[in-house]
Structure 1
């Protein structure tokens, strides 16, 4: 049986909670719940890495090995507020306005039951694995066409969505780290932004032509990634529907983080091991969340 210590708050506001489950004298599970308003996927990697470094040091009675931060998230927020306004904001929003003009209100995927009038967060996950051979063929295609694996997989996903929905105008959301300066790469905070990536397909279009279109769209979106998604929704004022998320209902992500490598020569094995948790929830109608692990690509649907 698990012996749970009383959960404790690490801040006055309930933005972070932690609990320890004791499995044995030498094995415990640390449950950390962090509000998305103060963290993102990149931050989770920072938190895991720094907790591991602190644990190893403190276990030996050593001081913290972490260097003090030169900047805090508040510094980034102040910079963003001072820069992203007036002409700079207008220029970015104008690009998105042109990019998403006339985009469909919804992606009508076939379902086995009626859509509820108010969207719920109920969901589940299925594993996805491309395998080493298909991944190698994908990389060869990317090399020939001058695109990234993200662009190629997004293109294929949009073709699949077009076939299932019968629509030729597809908008897919994708998260971007939005850490364009090296000074903020080590800061925990909510930097991530969401991009709405649109593809328009025709019956005569080849996949090579679609790749070129997706490449152009993606690079343009990266150049104009600074507009927060909620600000973009506020500016574009799309048709709102309680049963759907605005601008897009399908998400695609490809993280280039790599699998956790084992200890190198002379290194000790880390005392920390991540655990996969199925929350039983889903943020969108459909999310394809992949990781690029070098020899293969896989993830969750």
Structure 2
């Protein structure tokens, strides 16, 4: 991941702690620089711009180091090593706050997994929120009971292997709903510079050889969904010489359907605009990849292009699938199953979102999206609430979303689904595959609760759910006997997620042997959810993106939903003790919404 660094010129010797303290009063935590480096002058190019290449590396240069308390024993030393790797830092003190250093829910899960592997001790996520320091965790580890970490082992070679739970879910949905492009995940990059096509082909071959998931197809054997690993596959890379004007159309039409019973379940294309400008296209079926996998794919592909020899993988995705299927037979899994079945022992009332158009008998996944940037001052106040309540932005955004849905539907029992990385075992960090699990967050936004009371309930709910996230959503649907039909998702209608982007992604360019690699915008016109609210956190600000099904909602209604959400954010920032029943959406906007949404269109 990247990091923020501030370069300064000064006649005196500024003190880094003081600079950071002042910045923390004005900036959200994630915008406070990790490094502050004094330089004699800011280097400039001949064009009068800052010469970033000439700036010193803060990890090697004269970065001013703030005082800190170092590790005092072996446990704290090992914890510090783990923190440095998870947070991508050069130094950490035993009293430093994990979340203040850039930690968030996903990194917290990575952290406790690594701790389990290193110390054979399971640390509950709630404990990390209570004592988010090395000193606090070390104290817990010293007194904790041993819980042996079980390594995922390679399995013997077979004709076929069981599919993972996530793969089974996608396979069933793909067949049940009918194959469509909504399960295809595209990656498109612009490559500028002296491009070597031979090295490009070798990098593609290297990725296929390295990861079995690229050579995997699916079938049904004895009424069970299985994955088949092929030794060799034929891959035809689409090469075309095109003009700049043709690129958009080709990229849009590159996303063709896949047959899950045949390899490959990915497609590669390379467009040559000129000797020094190419467009790289990769499309994969969701059954073989997920968001974390894309990060691995891009990094390893660029390494292979540069000729770097990657270490051999100890396990492959099929080994995880076998391990997961065995996990379903353990006491731990049964305890998690008891938690989820108890949680959903009472049926969830349909949310009945106010829709503009009659719900079709068969789901359509045609979607659109709108994006707003949340005001900087509002984000700063939200960060203060998070700090005071020891919550994450995800917890706060989820609480507000529940309140918004309550205002629309009058429901006091609401389920919002959240996708999680699903890499709950430390051995999975470098694997490509489909690990994502969907976690239903069930909360009760009752009118007489204050926002702070409700936020505390949401925090407790989130931590409990994350601690039981090995149990799979598809299994919950089956065990609860929920009806699968073509019109709606079982159990939920709407989704929320918070994604944090590091600076390398934000800079949107990477130099690889004099090549510039930049992302190419791909319009997403599909969505799996009636409403999908996404918070995209960058160092320069937070975007609020709403995906919606165009068969259910008009664009004007989607705009109003975002307006109402931001309006509620302003109200809770102004008064965190406001009761839910006293939180209002403006009369003018509400009247407009009533015109758009007719009571006869409600989906009872």
Q: TM-score, normalised by structure 1?
A: 0.88
Q: Which moved more, 1:240-249 or 1:167-176?
A: 240-249
Which position in structure 1 is the counterpart of 2:389? 145
Assess, with a 3 A threshold, how the Cα gap between structure 1 residues 171 and 269 changes in structure 2: closer, same or farther: farther
Q: Does 1:283 align with 2:528?
A: yes
Larger radius of gyration: 2
Q: Does 1:127 align with 2:371?
A: yes
Q: Does 1:39 align with 2:283?
A: no
Asked whether the equivalents of residues 399 and 458 of structure 2 are also in contact (C-alpha less than 8 Å), the reply is yes
Which position in structure 2 is the counterpart of 1:60? none
Which position in structure 1 is the counterpart of 2:303? 53
Rounded to whole Å, the distance in 2 between the matches of 1:269 and 1:98 is 57
1:77-125: CA deviations, max 9, x gaps?
A: 1211112225333221211112223243422111111111111111101
Which position in structure 2 is the counterpart of 1:102? 346
How far residue 67 of structure 1 moved from its aligned partner, in angstroms, is 2.4
Q: Does 1:254 align with 2:495?
A: no
Assess, with a 3 A threshold, how the Cα gap between structure 1 residues 98 and 121 changes in structure 2: closer, same or farther: same
Q: What is the number of residues matched between the two proteins? A: 292
Secondary structure of the residue aligned to 2:439 is: strand
Asked whether the equivalents of residues 19 and 30 of structure 1 are also in contact (C-alpha less than 8 Å), the reply is yes
Q: Does 1:191 align with 2:435?
A: yes
Rounded to whole Å, the distance in 2 between the matches of 1:65 and 1:131 is 45
Asked whether the equivalents of residues 265 and 284 of structure 2 are also in contact (C-alpha less than 8 Å), the reply is yes
Equivalences for 1:1-301 in 2 at 5 Å? 1=243, 2=246, 13-55=263-305, 57=306, 63-259=307-503, 260=505, 262=507, 271-301=516-546
1:152-199: CA deviations, max 9, x gaps?
A: 011111111111122111100001112123321111111111100011
Q: Which moved more, 1:271-280 or 1:28-37?
A: 271-280
Q: Which moved more, 1:38-47 or 1:91-100?
A: 91-100
Unaligned runs of 5+ in 1: 58-62
The structure that is helix-richer by fraction is 2
Rounded to whole Å, the distance in 1 between the matches of 2:541 and 2:345 is 37
Q: Which moved more, 1:145-154 or 1:276-285?
A: 276-285
Asked whether the equivalents of residues 302 and 512 of structure 2 are also in contact (C-alpha less than 8 Å), the reply is no
Assess, with a 3 A threshold, how the Cα gap between structure 1 residues 25 and 145 changes in structure 2: closer, same or farther: same
Asked whether the equivalents of residues 117 and 242 of structure 1 are also in contact (C-alpha less than 8 Å), the reply is yes
Secondary structure of the residue aligned to 1:126 is: strand
Assess, with a 3 A threshold, how the Cα gap between structure 1 residues 157 and 45 changes in structure 2: closer, same or farther: same
Asked whether the equivalents of residues 366 and 525 of structure 2 are also in contact (C-alpha less than 8 Å), the reply is yes
Rounded to whole Å, the distance in 2 between the matches of 1:237 and 1:183 is 33
Rounded to whole Å, the distance in 1 between the matches of 2:399 and 2:339 is 21
Assess, with a 3 A threshold, how the Cα gap between structure 1 residues 252 and 214 changes in structure 2: closer, same or farther: same
Unaligned runs of 5+ in 2: 1-242, 547-604
How far residue 258 of structure 1 moved from its aligned partner, in angstroms, is 2.5
Asked whether the equivalents of residues 20 and 30 of structure 1 are also in contact (C-alpha less than 8 Å), the reply is yes
Secondary structure of the residue aligned to 2:283 is: strand
Assess, with a 3 A threshold, how the Cα gap between structure 1 residues 183 and 297 changes in structure 2: closer, same or farther: same
Assess, with a 3 A threshold, how the Cα gap between structure 1 residues 192 and 270 changes in structure 2: closer, same or farther: farther
Asked whether the equivalents of residues 498 and 536 of structure 2 are also in contact (C-alpha less than 8 Å), the reply is yes
Asked whether the equivalents of residues 179 and 191 of structure 1 are also in contact (C-alpha less than 8 Å), the reply is yes
Rounded to whole Å, the distance in 1 between the matches of 2:508 and 2:418 is 33
Rounded to whole Å, the distance in 2 between the matches of 1:97 and 1:117 is 29
Of structures 1 and 2, the one with the larger relative CO (CA 8 A, separation 6+) is 1
Asked whether the equivalents of residues 103 and 171 of structure 1 are also in contact (C-alpha less than 8 Å), the reply is no
Secondary structure of the residue aligned to 1:218 is: helix
Rounded to whole Å, the distance in 1 between the matches of 2:468 and 2:507 is 38
Secondary structure of the residue aligned to 1:114 is: coil
How far residue 268 of structure 1 moved from its aligned partner, in angstroms, is 7.2
